[in-house]
Structure 1
Amino acid sequence: VRLVPAAGDEQSQELLRRLRVAWPHSSPSLDDTVAALSRALAQSPYAAAGERGPGTAALPPGALAEVDLRSFVQQQCLEGYDPNLGVLLVTEEKLRCLAELQQAVLQCAVSDPVPGSPFPPGGSCCHVVHVVSCDEEFQQQQMDLLWRILDPGAHTALQKLLVCGPVKVTKPLSPIGADEYFQLRKRQMHEASVMKYGELAQDEAWTEVIDVLTAAAIRFEMLSTAHRSQIVLDLEDGSISTKGTKSGAFVMYNCARLATLFDTYQRAVERGTYPPLPPPSELNFSCLREEGEWLLLFNYLLPFPEVLQQAAELPPPSKGIRITVSTEAVCKFLIQLSMDFSSYYNRVHILGEPFPHLFEQMFARLQLLAAVRDTFHSALATLHLPPLTQI
């Protein structure tokens, strides 16, 4: 995956780092690519530049050419574009934006074709997804078409738009920026952690935990809503906690409980209290008689691959230029898994007395919860969140 454009200012870079987003902050030299796109622009039948006919107004300062996007859409029989698209004034800034995309595509080029891929060896099989706000969709469609005109390759034909709805704040006293929003959520998470765990939450060792919990809370707050819908943020002090069953912090809390369970078991093995966990082929899973154990298996472990497949499909099955990514499905899956795991874990004692006749059931339960732990980690990885190992 290649991410563009590069985050230029230091404030954006710092915010992305705090949110655990690995976003590039620099890009290679674009001069050669911009020059190549300029030459393609000069040769395009859809572009008009330089000498213009009598009675035709001159291009405004800074404009290199004007491109007839509507004629291109009609001649190529493209579907899904705004009917109001007309003539686009091309500037060097627009070409530099395309050049950054072009560089990313070149880095994604493969020497060996993916099995089943329609592209020949040495070609590009990447898909370009423009993540854009609803207010900027029209401008991004213009850039999409300009790139198609200047570089009629397979990658430009595979462009899609992921359109995001607006973000609103309930009862805003004053405008709030992204950095202020993060700092507010971090302060609220810190205060909630102090209330739950005491002064330990003010220790320096907890700084990383609070940062991860804050990133998780923000990601779930943003991604639990369908991306085309409006997000309404509640910034009141009581709107975030470490235990709310609809929050990312609740998911991370249960992830940490699993880590603590296996850490406790491993230390007991090292002391000789329990024997090591046998291979799965040697376990007797008929010992799992609790309804909650089979609920975890049939409602979460088995359907998880299908949840991932339905969350994002590339290539998209439908025509047009828009795609849908169901991040809310992954968030909902994780929250429901956390609720059912928490209910089971509070009810069932996993690490029992160290008597040999109890080991068979304990081993089966540990293997089941190891699979639950792996599912937590895989699902969190799709949201680019690291699992917590302690809390």
Structure 2
Amino acid sequence: MEMGGSGASWPLWVSTTLRGLQRTLSDCGASSAFCFKESSQKNLRSRDFLVPRGALRNNFPDGEVPEEVIHKLEAMKASEFLPIKRCAQTEAGLIIQLDRPCVFQGVLKDFSSYLRPIPTATDGAQTTFILNCAPLHACHSLDTFRLGHLRAVLLADHLAALLRLRGDQVHLIPPIRNKEVNDLFEQLGITWPYSTESPSIEETVTRYKDGLKQHIHTRNASGEPLQPESESSQGTSFSVHLKSCSEKHELSLSGYDPNIDHFLVSEEDLSHIAQLQISFTHILKGDAPCAVLHVVTCEEEFHQQKLDLLWRLLEAETAAVTQKHLICGPVKVLNPQSLVGCSQYFALRKSQMREASVMKYGECVKGQGWEEIINSLTSAAIKFELMATPHRTQVILNLEDTNITTKGTKSGAFVMYNCARLSTLFDSYTNAVSQGLYPEFPTAGEINYSSLKEEGEWLLLFNYIMTFPEVLSQAAEISLTSPGIRVTASTEAVCKFLVNLSMDFSCYYNRVHILGEPLPHLFSQMFARLQLMKGVSGVLHSALALLHIQPLAQI
């Protein structure tokens, strides 16, 4: 679609424009000159992109950019790149400023495209992921479900939402069998499969036992057959030398722990592998390539590597399947008086949320409506607390930290508070319309966006609405072709984005009166600001949906 008065075909992306600027500089001989997007409110007053003076000195005599280069940058094809208003050389370097009214018009007329990842050349080429949350295989009750396990589940649940948003198929395993664990998941908004029926894995497990007894997998390096190590109520354990078996079957051990070798295989281990195999066999019926992503705590990483190799040995067809491991750092509780389980953690945060709500709103905090609000705040607080840190990094919980329950700017409750402020704003406008104070809202294409001149307005558009697709693309990016078996993912990106957006929105909201006096000459600016707030609200709601958090309509 074309709009904005520049011949541009929207949506247009910040990253595409940045690459276009870089390519134009390279074509003009400035191959080592790098251009970057500005993000601070101070710098955005005068520029949107910058080529630093130091980079200019390395590419142009005396660091002076020829006029013809500036003209080429300003004349970049408007239909493909964000429209440029001016380029100028300053003490800071070469500054590039966009035609902001045109950009406001182009984005806000229809911001729906900015609520999804950036389309790529591979769109439509799906990958099918088996997301194996390893701690859940041994989770038979809440008593065995630790805080580190909860973190792994939250990250896997969020990652599944991100992958599905970009078009991939995702299968989550294993399903939850315990009702108490499932009830906790429902309270937290975790969308994990739950089934009261156990999968028919007995036949597969029996086949594995027979293979371990009869085949080369159970011979040691000297060629001597290995017998079952023990018989107990827990089942049979087999001793397998993974290193020699892998070498014999020409399985690469690159990326695995060099100490990996002896593996005492339990019945539970075989059940774990059987569930993987059943999911894999089901997926083989489709045409999409398949990858297995094991989400595992750092304490269980070594054991999961053994399971990975044993599955390859037991099922020849999986030898070439891509298996990657996403490692979750530990969760440490400061000064614990006793072992803190997940149910105690949830109950404590919920009681803190209730107490904070009563202190702020008084005795009206009761009834089903408030119960839902407190549950949403609790879920948001816990998820941001456990997920806003890179997945390999340790999380330290201060269970007495009252910032968790108030408007501390890094908390999930703060994000929810700002969602509620926006909802209240729109309700206030609607009520005023019903009273005849304001006219009905025009269509987005009829709004005049030239009145959006506040620094905070451009900040919200350029740093958040327009960059949200890139955050989504980055957060869902997992390299299946990288060397080794470990992968990293930006699982913290959405939480951090929401916190920063909420802080900048709050500053703007506290400073600017969006709903002004009911005077006709002020309506144009009010409509432009309301449409910008709709864009901010759309981003907030879309991001929270990826965390499976229900935004609040009031608080």
Q: TM-score, normalised by structure 2?
A: 0.63
State the AA in 2 paired with 1:30: I
Superimposed CA distance per residue, residues 353-380 of structure 1 (whole angstroms, 9 cap, x where no aligned partner): 3333222211111111111111111211
1:383 maps to a residue whose letter is L
Q: Distance in 1 between matches of 2:313 and 2:434?
A: 65
2:379 maps to which of 189, 206, 215: 215
Question: Partner of 1:324 in structure 2?
Answer: 488
How far off is 1:184 after superposition? 0.6
Task: Give the 5 Å matches for 1:1-391.
Answer: 1-26=170-195, 27-35=198-206, 37=208, 45-48=216-219, 53=224, 59-61=229-231, 62-63=235-236, 65-71=238-244, 73-74=246-247, 75-108=250-283, 111=286, 121=287, 124-153=288-317, 157-236=321-400, 238-316=402-480, 318-391=482-555
When residues 227 and 266 of structure 1 are mapped into structure 2, their CA distance, relative to the original with a 3 A threshold, is same
The alpha-carbon deviation at position 130 of structure 1 amounts to: 1.3
Q: Is the 8 A contact 1:44 1:149 kept in 2?
A: no
Alpha carbons of structure 1 residues 199 and 126: separation in structure 2 relative to 1, 3 Å? farther
Residue by residue over 1:97-140, the C-alpha shift from the partner in whole angstroms, topping out at 9 and shown as x without a partner, is 122223333454564xxxxxxxxx3xx52332211111110111
- Looking at structure 2, the residues matched to 202 and 369 of structure 1 have their Cα atoms a distance apart, in angstroms, of 31
SS at match of 1:314: coil
CA distances 1:255-313 after superposition (whole Å, capped 9, x unpaired)? 11111212222333344443333332222211101110000011111111212222231
Contact kept, 8 Å, 1:312 with 1:324, in 2: the verdict is no
SS in 1 for 2:492: helix
- Alpha-carbon distance in 2 for matches of 1:200, 1:272: 31
Distance 1:171 1:190 in 2: 23
Per the alignment, residue 115 of structure 1 pairs with none
What SS does structure 1 have at the residue aligned with 2:263?
Answer: strand
> Is this contact kept in 2: 1:48–1:65, CA < 8 A?
no
Change (3 A) 1:44 1:250: farther
* Residues 329 and 394 in structure 2, CA contact (< 8 A), matched pair in contact too: yes
Query: CA contact under 8 A between 2:237 and 2:267: conserved in structure 1?
Result: yes
CA, structure 1 residues 352+100, in 2 after alignment: closer, same or farther (shift >3 Å)?
Answer: same
Query: What CA deviation, in whole Å up to 9, does each residue of 1:218-265 have, x standing for no partner?
Result: 111101122212111111163422211111000000011111212222
CA distance in 2, matches of 1:77, 1:264: 64
What SS does the corresponding residue of 2:290 show, helix, strand or coil? coil
One-letter code of the match for 1:21?
I
Q: Say which is worse superposed, 234-243 or 269-278, in terms of deviation.
A: 269-278
Q: Summarize the Cα distance change of 1:78–1:306 in structure 2 as closer, same or farther, 3 Å threshold.
A: farther
Partner of 2:65: none
Offset of residue 383 of structure 1: 1.7
**139-148 vs 63-72, greater mean Cα deviation:** 63-72
Moved more, 291-300 or 19-28: 19-28
Partners of 1:156 and 1:260 in 2: CA distance? 54
2:228/2:238 contact within 8 Å kept: no
Runs of 5+ in structure 2 lacking a partner?
A: 1-169
- Name the SS of the counterpart of 1:161 in structure 2: strand
CA RMSD of aligned residues (A): 2.6
| Whole-Å separation in 1 of the counterparts to 2:314 and 2:253 | 16
- Of the structure 1 ranges 257-266 and 270-279, higher mean CA displacement relative to structure 2 is found in 270-279
SS across alignment from 1:240? helix
Taking the aligned partners of 2:365 and 2:408, their CA distance within structure 1 comes to 18
Distance 2:245 2:175 in 1: 30
Distance in 2 between residues matched to 1:108 and 1:57, nearest whole Å: 34
CA distance in structure 1 between the aligned counterparts of 2:282 and 2:224, rounded to whole angstroms: 42
> What is the TM-score normalised by the length of structure 1?
0.87
Displacement of 1:78 in angstroms is: 3.6
**Counting strand residues as a fraction of each chain, which structure ranks higher?**
2
* Larger Rg over CA atoms: 2
SS of structure 2 residue aligned to 1:380: helix
Aligned partner of residue 171 in structure 2, secondary structure: coil
Q: Distance in 2 between matches of 1:373 and 1:385?
A: 14
Q: Name the structure 2 match of 1:114.
A: none
